[in-house]
Chain A
Amino acid sequence: MIILLTGDDQFAIRQELEHYKAELDSQWLELCYHRFPSSALEQAMSAARTPSLSGGKRLVVVEDCNLKQWGDTQLESLRYLAQMPDSTTLVFLATNVDKRLKIYKHLIKHGQCFELSLIPPWRTDLIAEAIATQAKQMKLRLPKDVVEYLAAAIGNDMTRAASELRKLAIYTNGQPVGLAEVQSLIPCQTQSNLQLAEAVRNGESETVVRLIDELLARSEPMLVMVATLLTQFRTWLWVKSAIASGIQNNTEIAQLCNVGNPNRLYYLRQEVATMPLRTLIQAVTKLVDLEMSIKQGAVQANAIMPSLLAIARLFQTIHSK
């Protein structure tokens, strides 16, 4: 059996390999399970052609295959694919393949190709679903808000999702778990940074002070905080100015403002509705100044706190009106 696994979801690929490995005779694992780098294709092929000693199955994995760079020598090595014993499973791992390649066509003639790609990062609903399924497999009962939080915190990295869920399972020990605990155990800096942007926008000085303190306690680099804020405020500025200049179409605005998902415009519109353009410009200017001063060596909370409070104050005067 010849299998070509492509795609960037390392976690799924590993699970697939585990699945093949489970079919082997565990007593003879050393003798019937082999991994080769793609440079050792010749050895891999000879291992694959040798019938298994124990009479059971044999698994040969060739890693990091870059089919594009494979030439005639490799094709030569692969010429015995047809004569491989049935008991052998030969797996090629590749991140991506070009289906027009001669070598791909040759492999496909004798075997199958499976594509295991990651969920795109913006499909948070699918990610949440995947996390919920994984949690269920671990017999971990998570409330809906926790699953959503985890999807936002972890993203589409399923390896990390698995290890975080395992950690959660150990922590909860079968007990129900709340969002606050999960947030402490699996902190999501990006989300806290976005909360910070939100607090600044709403002019909530106290929340701003507390969030900065919290982020610094988790040793979040200040530049990262400022960069996130800057991105957020710049997006708001672009959207606001695009709307102000009379562009109505969401898709068009999204394209202009580098917003990946046009549906996000619905929320962005609501957010910028109460924000005057002038204040946004001032906020962005101050943030750029702040970034500059941090890069020039201003240290500690002394640098970031006053600037953010001043920006929060710009928005405060608007809300109090």
Chain B
Amino acid sequence: MPTIALHQKYRPKTLAELVGQPYVQTALTNAINRMHIAPAYLFTGSRGTGKTSTARIFAKSLNCLSFDGPTDEPCGTCQSCRSIETSNSLDVSEIDAASNNGVDDARALIERSNFAPVIGRYRVFLLDESHMLTTQSQNALLKCIEEPPPHVVFILCTTEVHKVLPTIVSRCQVFHFRALSLQTIAQHLQEIADAEAIAVNADALMAIARFAEGGLRDALQLLGQVSLLGEAVTANHVIEMTGGVTATDLLTVLEAIATNDTFQLLKLARSLVDSGKTPKLILSSLLQTYRDLLILKAAPQAADLLTSPVNYSQLKAISTQWDFDVLNQSLAQLQKAESYLRNTTNAAVWLETCLLNLMPMLRSISFSSPDVKQAVGKNGHSRKTISETASTTTGHKPTDLAALWQKVVASAKPGTQKLLTQARLTKLQGTKAILEVAPASFAKFEANQQAIARMLQRVTHNPKPMTVLIRTLTASKNGRSV
């Protein structure tokens, strides 16, 4: 007996079997039960989310001969259902729009749509990958999709709905198939593993689910692949099979980076490359781990969104010793290296330098020092500027002060505005401000000190009353007094 790939063997046969699309399921089931069949449907979503399967089920449901009318549970045994399964049905044409994308194909299709169905109730046209249709052919189909003969149903499937003409989209009933969550995939895989008697542990299933990125077909393919190993499948098997870097390897790399162990890091890079992992793959695994660390750091509650093979508690332990900006810089570094890798012939060397650059000893800053963190958070991303900016963050920048003073001037009465523009705000710290004025108008400012303080307080939204010091303008060595 020939073997059937798992994703084909476990292709859903009724709408009820559809995995992870509750809204689509309910809507389509209701549509069939209440006989509200739209002339055209558009199924969109990323790969492996069940678009084509749903389209086939829907076609079977409409035409199943075991019932008098459309049914939400097609029998799968009548002639119509079987011929749809083997795609040689006369009434249901599954058309690969990627290869039949011309205007002539569209015209032929429109001509065929006028014939009455042969054995079923509806003539169903299933246009897979419909974003590949040319604009002209889409326009040719437009009229037909808008007002098809009553016995015709169009089902368009596409991964890229933005490539389908908006005029087509607005004439179809659009159903969005969302990528499946890790949990949904893992659960479904568990059911199939049980049914197929594949020994596989929960971690391995999670690893498969992560690799699949929301597509059930990829997940099932991989499950079929690892089941051939003939032993109990673990997460490491899955990662080896997909050519990824295992959690243990990643952890040792991270540890070597954290402890500045240059030799160990070089050795690890060598052994990883020797074991057949491409530098690009190693980098993207690291990238994924760093991303997870960043998520943990920034949003500890979102732990269910982690994607790297390293498990939660280990990541959590590492994330406590790195801080956000270090992680962010490392990520930027990795991303840069990834783009360099594409243009180099000597990838292994690039990998080594990139890994070495991740080591904290090569950065000027140490881990988890709070004032540096604040400085970076406030002020840009480049490493070099940190030491300079750290000292200035306590006060305001001159440009800020000028803008602030401008506001104060704007808020004053028109009569006093002219006077106020003569002054310059040179320092603002807490509740203290220093104003510089020309010697000529010093007396006027001195007399109105209280009023200026009040204006400043209002503009800065400072809860406490402010004190203003008035100074006469003195030229300092750089022309700007502090």
Contact = CB atoms under 8 A, between A and B. Distances in A.
B257 to A, nearest CB: 17
B38 interface: yes
Contacts of A53: none
6 contacts: A163-B38, A167-B27, A170-B36, A205-B299, A219-B46, A293-B335
Interface string B315-331: 00000000010001001
Given A159-B171, A163-B38, A303-B335, A219 B302 contact: no
Given A160-B169, A210-B302, A298-B339, A244 B179 contact: no
Contacts of B38: 163, 166-167
Contacts of A310: 328, 381
Given A305-B295, A306-B328, A209 B31 contact: no
B209 to A, nearest CB: 13
A79 B386 CA distance: 82
A177 to B, nearest CB: 11
Contact of A163 (B173, B291, B335): B173
A135 interface: no
B27 A313 contact: no
A12 to B, nearest CB: 14
B44 interface: yes
B406 interface: yes
A302 B290 CA distance: 9
Place the interface of chain A in its size category: 35 or more
A230 to B, nearest CB: 18
Contacts of A166: 36, 38, 173
Contacts of A206: 298-302
Interface in A287-321: 293, 296-298, 301-303, 305-306, 309-310, 312-314, 316-317
Nearest to B39: A163
B339 A296 contact: yes
A244 B45 CA distance: 44
A213 B305 contact: yes
B178 A282 contact: no
A126 interface: no
Point out which of A216, A282, A305 has the most chain B C-beta atoms below 10 A from its C-beta.
A305
Interface in A186-232: 187, 205-206, 208-210, 213, 216-219, 221, 224
B179 A219 contact: yes
Nearest to B327: A306
Interface string B214-249: 100000000000000000000000000000000000
B302 A209 contact: yes
Contact of A216 (B31, B174, B179, B377): B179
Give 8 nearest A-B pairs by CB, closest first. A206-B299, A205-B298, A217-B179, A160-B170, A171-B27, A205-B299, A219-B46, A209-B302
B45 A219 contact: yes
B287 A302 contact: yes
A305 B291 contact: yes
A286 B45 CA distance: 29
Interface of A: 157, 159-160, 163-164, 166-167, 169-171, 173, 181, 184-185, 187, 205-206, 208-210, 213, 216-219, 221, 224, 244-246, 277-278, 282, 286, 293, 296-298, 301-303, 305-306, 309-310, 312-314, 316-317
Point out which of A163, A171, A245, A282 has the most chain B C-beta atoms below 10 A from its C-beta.
A163
A171 B179 contact: no
A213 B38 CA distance: 32
B172 interface: yes
Nearest to B28: A170
A171 B23 contact: yes
Interface string B291-308: 100110011111001010
B44 A157 contact: no
Contacts of A170: 27, 30-31, 34, 36
A302 B284 contact: yes
Contacts of B374: 317
B186 to A, nearest CB: 16
A317 B378 contact: yes
Main secondary structure, interface of A, reads helix
Given A171-B26, A171-B30, A302-B335, A217 B214 contact: yes
Contacts of A187: 176
B403 interface: yes
B479 interface: no
B325 to A, nearest CB: 8
B179 A218 contact: yes
Contacts of B45: 218-219
A206 B260 CA distance: 31
A167 B173 contact: yes
Contacts of B159: 219
A217 B45 CA distance: 9
A306 B30 contact: no
B349 interface: no
B388 interface: no
Contacts of B94: none
Nearest to A279: B378
B338 interface: yes
A310 B377 CA distance: 8
Given A159-B170, A282-B380, A302-B331, 10 more contacts: A163-B170, A167-B27, A184-B23, A218-B45, A297-B342, A298-B339, A306-B294, A306-B328, A309-B295, A309-B299
B317 to A, nearest CB: 20
A314 B38 CA distance: 49
Contacts of B295: 209, 305, 309
Given A159-B171, A163-B173, A209-B298, A302 B328 contact: no
A236 B319 CA distance: 34
Contacts of A303: 335
Contacts of B413: none
Given A206-B301, A218-B176, A306 B291 contact: yes
B172 A163 contact: yes
B400 interface: yes
B171 A301 contact: no
Point out which of A209, A210, A309 has the most chain B C-beta atoms below 10 A from its C-beta.
A309
Point out which of A170, A171, A205 has the most chain B C-beta atoms below 10 A from its C-beta.
A170
A105 B159 CA distance: 49
